[in-house]
């Protein structure tokens, strides 16, 4: 059983009945909902791609997306938005 599932069971919450819209912030045992996020999954992918190809600076990306340079740096280095893959996975 994963640590998240164990925490839910310990808290008396049915892990299978928890809303699928809730994303778990890695390293913490509390849900992070979409309203806590400053960037969409598509924006995160675009930021990582632009930075990885050398097409934009952290400062430029921060201005473009209306967030702090720290938010962009954490996104690029996968300190945040770890659950966002670099490419969309297509279900077969």
Distance CA 4, CA 1 (A): 8
* Tens digits of residue pLDDT in 34-49: 567 889 889 999 999 9
Q: What is the pLDDT of residue 32?
A: 54
Cα–Cα distances in angstroms (integers) from residue 63 to residues 37, 66, 69, 89, in the given order: 17, 5, 8, 29
* Tens digits of residue pLDDT in 48-88: 999 999 888 999 999 999 999 999 999 999 988 888 887 75
Helix ranges restricted to H, the chain: 3-10, 41-52, 58-65, 69-76
């Amino acid at each position: 059983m994963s640590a998240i599932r164990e925490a839910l069971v310990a808290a008396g919450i049915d892990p299978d009945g928890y809303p699928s819209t809730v994303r778990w912030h890695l390293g913490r045992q509390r849900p992070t909902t979409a309203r806590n996020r400053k960037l969409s999954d598509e924006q995160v992918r675009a930021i990582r791609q632009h930075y990885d190809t050398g097409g934009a600076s952290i400062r430029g990306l921060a201005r473009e997306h209306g967030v702090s340079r720290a938010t962009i740096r954490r996104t690029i280095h996968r300190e945040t938005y770890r659950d966002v893959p670099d490419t969309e996975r297509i279900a077969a």
